């Protein structure tokens, strides 16, 4: 098969005010050519912390509209990456992944350990669900994101993944070891996870995720686990322009993940690299490197659905 194009966002950790702190790349996985279609250097953000508010994050498509999340704002672009609309909410902070299902945009608000839901047609935030622990229990409550009755700013579970289908909203967090399912009946647990995951999603008859702590992509079914290590580079070839510590930006951090066709998946890692893995053969087919700067890390990753560009 011919490999498709993908759209990916990046975060440049430890970038300073006035510098680019992320961007959007259109990558042809077949030819390995890529284009920086948007350089993100917004200075009106909080530059403290590792990633802080830097960079652009999750990606979702609705017709000709491209939704891309920043830390506390969602931007809608056209296919030429001109901003059409933006949306903010008081309970959206450190957004990671987003997903669209039946006219609703689901957003992870990592800073509030919540999922926010935005109706694309009415252009309103319609509901949210906040998750917290109480001893050994995981509890959830819904709230109105247009009110002041929502949760406090606190990251306990580090909710960073959301996946939706007709039956439920599924979510997971980097500091939690379970996949949570939220339905009208409430919250329940549907499967275990290692701690330190990103991009958890249901795929085929199993679960696909980045095991970021161990620098692997994993696909788990009831019978087997398939694992792929992220691409490795010689240390001397990795650039660290600001001499940041690995606590701030480390190589081989696995984040960004999307299925392709025929059992192939595209997976991101740092320094910004996209690898193509074959779930059926268990082999890594190729990898495309966008930057050797260790601070430049893939974040969102989705198949480009359009024929143009």
Give the C-alpha separation, 197 to 183, whole Å. Answer: 22
- Region 182-193: mean pLDDT is 87
User: Could you report the per-residue pLDDT of 20-46, keeping only the tens digit for each?
Assistant: 668 899 999 999 999 999 987 754 544
For the chain, give the percent of residues with pLDDT over 90.
73
Domain spans in the chain, listed from the N-terminal domain onward = 5-303
pLDDT, averaged across the chain: 90
| pLDDT score of 111 | 95
pLDDT at 247 over 80: no
Cβ atoms of 22 and 29 within 8 Å: the answer is no
> Looking at the domain that runs over 5-303, which CATH code has it been given?
2.120.10.80
For the chain, give the percent of residues with pLDDT over 70.
91
Cβ atoms of 238 and 282 within 8 Å: the answer is no
**Phi-psi region at 149: left, alpha or beta (left = phi > 0; alpha = psi -120 to 50):** alpha
- Region 233-257: mean pLDDT is 84
Phi then psi dihedrals of residue 212, to 5 deg: -65, -30
Give the bridge partners for 178, in sequence order.
Answer: 192
pLDDT at 109 over 90: yes
| 35-38 CB contacts, 8 Å cutoff, 24+ apart | 37/81, 37/309, 38/77, 38/81
19 pLDDT tier (thresholds 50, 70, 90) = low
| pLDDT score of 43 | 45
- Region 204-224: mean pLDDT is 94
Task: Tell me how many degrees the CA angle 102-53-13 measures, rounded to the nearest 5.
Answer: 115
User: Could you report the per-residue pLDDT of 282-292, keeping only the tens digit for each?
Assistant: 999 999 999 99
- Region 88-116: mean pLDDT is 96
């Amino acid at each position: 098969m011919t490999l498709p194009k993908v759209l990916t966002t990046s975060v440049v950790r430890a970038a300073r005010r006035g510098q680019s702190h992320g961007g959007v790349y259109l990558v042809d996985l077949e030819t390995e050519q890529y284009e920086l279609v948007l350089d993100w250097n917004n200075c009106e953000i909080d530059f403290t912390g590792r990633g802080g508010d830097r960079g652009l994050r999750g990606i979702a498509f609705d017709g000709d509209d491209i939704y891309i999340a920043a830390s506390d704002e969602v931007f809608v672009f056209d296919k030429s990456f001109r901003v059409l609309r933006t949306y903010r909410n008081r309970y959206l902070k450190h957004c990671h992944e987003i997903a669209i299902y039946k006219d609703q945009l689901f957003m992870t608000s990592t800073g509030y350990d919540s999922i926010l839901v935005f109706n694309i047609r009415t252009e309103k935030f319609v509901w949210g669900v906040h998750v917290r622990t109480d001893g050994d229990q995981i509890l959830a409550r819904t709230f109105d994101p247009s009110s002041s009755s929502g949760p406090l700013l606190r990251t306990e579970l580090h909710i960073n993944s959301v996946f939706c289908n007709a039956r439920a909203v599924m979510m997971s967090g980097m500091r939690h070891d379970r996949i949570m399912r939220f339905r009208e009946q409430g919250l329940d647990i549907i499967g275990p996870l290692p701690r330190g995951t990103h991009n958890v999603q249901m795929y085929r008859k199993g679960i696909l995720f980045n095991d970021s702590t161990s620098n692997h992509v994993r696909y788990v079914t009831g019978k087997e686990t398939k694992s792929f290590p992220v691409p490795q580079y010689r240390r001397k070839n990795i650039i660290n322009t600001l001499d940041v510590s690995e606590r701030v930006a480390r190589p081989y951090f696995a984040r960004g993940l999307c299925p392709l066709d025929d059992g192939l998946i595209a997976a991101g890692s740092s320094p910004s690299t996209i690898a193509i893995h074959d779930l059926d053969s268990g082999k890594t087919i190729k990898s495309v490197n966008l930057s050797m700067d260790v601070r430049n890390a893939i974040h969102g990753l989705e198949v480009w659905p359009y024929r143009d560009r």
